[in-house]
A and B are shown apart, each in its own frame.
Chain A
Amino acid sequence: MAKEYDASTEEFMGVPRKKIPWWPTIDYNKCTFCMECDKFCPHHVYEKRETEQRKLVVANPYNCVVFCRACAKACPEDALSFPDKREITKLIKEMRGV
């Protein structure tokens, strides 16, 4: 397994990764904890919590590749959502402009 990812040193398009709010949100009303998204994502964005009620969480949001929504396609319940790409692009442009 990959070592702990240190997002504080990472940049995306010249902007610190930690300033870009891009990661999946799990709709727990829909999620059945089938873990397909976790199996799919190579960046360890998700983590299992076997003993908790919410058996899957977004544990490493900054590992998520900005603009990638591929895990949402793997979800059979359509329980994953992402921010609006246009909003994120706008935000990146604003931060690059500073």
Chain B
Amino acid sequence: MAERKTVILPCNGLDKALGVVAGRAGIVACAKDPGIKLVCPVLLNSGEPKYDEMVKDADIICLNGCMTRCATKLAESRKIPVKTNLLVPDMVKKFNLKPGTDLVLQTSGVQLPEAIADDIITSIKKDRESMAQEIHSIEVEDKAEYFETKKDKFYFKVPKGAYLFNENDCWVRVFGGLAYLGISDFLQNQVGDILYVDLPAIGKEFGQFDEAGSFESVKSVQDLISPVSGKVVAVNNQLASAPELANQDPYHKGWFVKVELADFDEDKGLLLDGPAYFEFMKKKIELEAKKQH
């Protein structure tokens, strides 16, 4: 299955063994998982244009050899949003593998990049699994109970659970201090079969009603207009290979973006709960139906 890209930006500092380990760990991770791409920090710093495409919409992991954090600083200077910042000294402690000071890595220094690469690959997998579990628990919590209506060609359902909506037909579901965002059943019905979903980069920040992604259907190109302000912490990788999930299950498996909320107390004042959105939409549909008759 085509997954969202992960890109590793190592510092590759050659003045310390720790920097050499960072570079080496990046190379090993790419060799072990073809879904991971590597950015050369020297080439990136020189303004190499090929990286613009590579880092776009990817999960960026900065791998820093030491506290100077050159990889993270480089990403900041190139305005690349970072998902995770890793420090090799933390990994030294975690795996109890000391690389020594020799730039030509010896014994532990050779094992350490292997351990770091495995750790990165495992955490990518864990991230995906834990989100699938969260969505499943939201599904269970909702017990799949919906308000449903049909008028002419307009059919839609609204979950009775703890979803909030804006009048642009996008929803937010707060879960464990974070929140999932997606499009409503009405919107997916209106646009028809969704063929492509464009999701924001991890780390991107946006205000309430800003675009938090867009999608292309057989009929049109539209934005997910975010009901809340926040920062992207994850996106639904499954939509890359299965955009139809946004049609089939818009409130659960078809979620778009997971965010860290910035000011939910303020934002929620402008949102509708499920029953209010359902009533609002019924009126809107009556009006649309009248216009077309």
Interface size class of A (residues with CB under 8 A): 20 to 34
Contact present for A40 and B220 (CB under 8 Å): yes
Contact present for A13 and B211 (CB under 8 Å): no
Within 8 A of B (CB), among A40-64: 40, 42
7 closest A-B pairs by beta carbon, nearest first, are A67-B209, A67-B225, A85-B209, A3-B291, A13-B167, A67-B168, A70-B222
Contact present for B210 and A85 (CB under 8 Å): yes
* B14 nearest CB across to chain A (Å): 43
* A98 adjacent to chain B (CB < 8 Å): no
Bound: A89/B223 CA distance, A: 17
Count of inter-chain pairs, beta carbons less than 8 A: 46
Which residues from chain B contact A34 at a C-beta distance below 8 Å? none
Which residue in chain B gives the minimum CB-CB distance to A74?
Answer: B221
Q: List 6 A-B contacts (CB under 8 A).
A: A2-B292, A3-B292, A66-B168, A68-B225, A70-B214, A86-B207
Which residue in chain A gives the minimum CB-CB distance to B191?
Answer: A42
Interface size class of B (residues with CB under 8 A): 10 to 19
Contact present for B292 and A69 (CB under 8 Å): no
Contact present for B292 and A85 (CB under 8 Å): no
Within 8 A of A (CB), among B143-176: 166-168
Contact present for A65 and B223 (CB under 8 Å): no
Bound: A12/B166 CA distance, A: 10
Which residues from chain B contact A12 at a C-beta distance below 8 Å? 167
* A92 adjacent to chain B (CB < 8 Å): yes
Which residues from chain A contact B225 at a C-beta distance below 8 Å? 67-68
Which of A65, A73, A88 makes the CB contact (< 8 A) with B221?
A: A73
* A28 adjacent to chain B (CB < 8 Å): no
Q: Mark B210-237, 1 if CB is under 8 A from A, else 0.
A: 1100100000111101000000000000
Which residue in chain B gives the minimum CB-CB distance to A13?
Answer: B167
Contact present for B223 and A70 (CB under 8 Å): yes
